[in-house]
Copies of this chain bind each other. A is one copy, B any other.
Amino acid sequence: MLTDQQILRIPGPSPIPPSVSRAMTQPMIGHRGQSTSEMLADIRPKLKRVFGTAQEVLILTASGTAGLEAAVVNAVAPDDEVLVIVSGAFGERFADICRTYNIQTHIIETEWGKAATVSGITGALEAHPNIKAVFMTYCETSTGVLNPVEKLAAEIRGKSEAMIIVDGVSCVGGVETKMDEWGLDIVVSGSQKAFMLPAGLAFIGVSERAWNKIEANLQPRFYLDLKKHRDNLIKDTTPFTPALSLLFGLQKTLELMEEEGLGTVYARHELLMKMTRAAFKALGVPLLTVDEDASPTVTAVKPADFEAEVLRNVLKEEFAMEVAGGQKVLANKIFRIGHMGYCSPADLLQAIAAIEIAIVKAGREIELGSGVRAAQQEYLKGANR
């Protein structure tokens, strides 16, 4: 096998564009100096556009989970009652964090692979009228479900005063996010998914309504104190030492995203999703989710008549291509293809072509090339739109 090739098609970390890798190798500069301030001044408005907000989007040197924890410790008071919509592993993580802080936590659990429904929310809000915050996952990375955040938020806003707190780690930047328009209070994302960077930065958008709550909240927090981050960021600086090379990279990826155009970026992700789904339908290999629930950033496939792990091994051994397996209840049952961030239609066609070979090697008969053909047809449709 060709040495030194890595074809990364997992749902994060995602591949890094060469110009971003180069940007990250810039020599270190003082993080209290003018150059860092200028860089943050350049980053701030671009990050706001990605989140669809006029508010500051805070930048923490931390992984996505710290962003989720920051949402909890800043926006939830110790005696608050909260609701967590769980539709997979990352919904569970939100619940785990809430329970760690002894917050009274209600759960609505959706079957893994299905999206949360508005009616489920309605019932829970009626059953627990004192709920102060609702947590949800925009893209559930573990299942490839995109929850209908806009609709869920509209229902919550109509029925209660609860904060709406969204884990957008695996889709913000690849899927349109209109934080202000949809009435979201906190949206968390991370650098290693659609933002095309290594892990190490968490991004947190905070609504005006959430700031009121945060200012009054007595829950102790230091590094994760969002007020400190906001008060510094509006002066183009950071409260603590930032991961400078990741900021160099962030400046570059945001530039690339604006160069492509955010609308085009989102349309590309939508196209990649459609190409992927068309391929597996043509191959007769079942998808975990229905079309309506599918995320443009990651697709989960649930083979009925071959082992997902055998396929993953063939891809790794013969093509140096990594796709992800299933987590928890879906372990060994699914494989997941990341198509977020630095991923083109050509990359997707490559993944499908290699996966077809791996399906054959996993013992399932298919018409070779038929998945690629369906993806190509989807591409041609998209390109002619």
User: What residues of chain A have their CB less than 8 Å away from a CB belonging to chain B?
Assistant: 1-7, 17-20, 25, 256, 259-260, 264, 268, 318-321, 342-347, 349-350, 352-354, 356-357, 360, 367-377, 379-380, 383
Contacts and interface: CB of A to CB of B under 8 A. Distances in A.
Contacts of A377: 368
Contact of A345 (B319, B369, B379): B319
Given A3-B17, A369-B376, 14 more contacts: A1-B344, A2-B343, A4-B256, A4-B342, A5-B17, A5-B342, A318-B345, A319-B345, A346-B353, A347-B350, A349-B354, A352-B353, A357-B376, A369-B369
A346 B7 contact: yes
13 contacts: A1-B264, A1-B344, A2-B260, A2-B342, A4-B342, A319-B345, A347-B350, A349-B349, A350-B350, A353-B372, A360-B380, A369-B371, A369-B374
Contact of A346 (B264, B344, B354): B354
Specify how many copies of this chain sit in the oligomer. Answer: 2
A264 B342 CA distance: 31
A376 to B, nearest CB: 5
A5 to B, nearest CB: 6
B321 A346 contact: yes
Contacts of A1: 260, 264, 268, 344
Contacts of A343: 2
Contacts of A7: 346
A179 B337 CA distance: 46
Nearest to A347: B350
A261 to B, nearest CB: 10
A281 B256 CA distance: 39
- Among the interface residues A7, A318, A369, A376, which one has the most CB atoms of the partner chain B within 10 A? A369
Given A3-B17, A383-B318, A350 B346 contact: yes
A373 B369 contact: yes
Contact of A19 (B4, B264, B360, B376): B4
A269 B383 CA distance: 33
Contacts of A319: 344-346
Q: Nearest 3 CB-CB pairs, A to B? A: A369-B373, A350-B350, A369-B369
Contacts of A372: 353, 368-369, 372-373
Contacts of A383: 318
Contacts of A342: 2, 4-5
A349 to B, nearest CB: 4
Contacts of A352: 353
Nearest to A319: B346
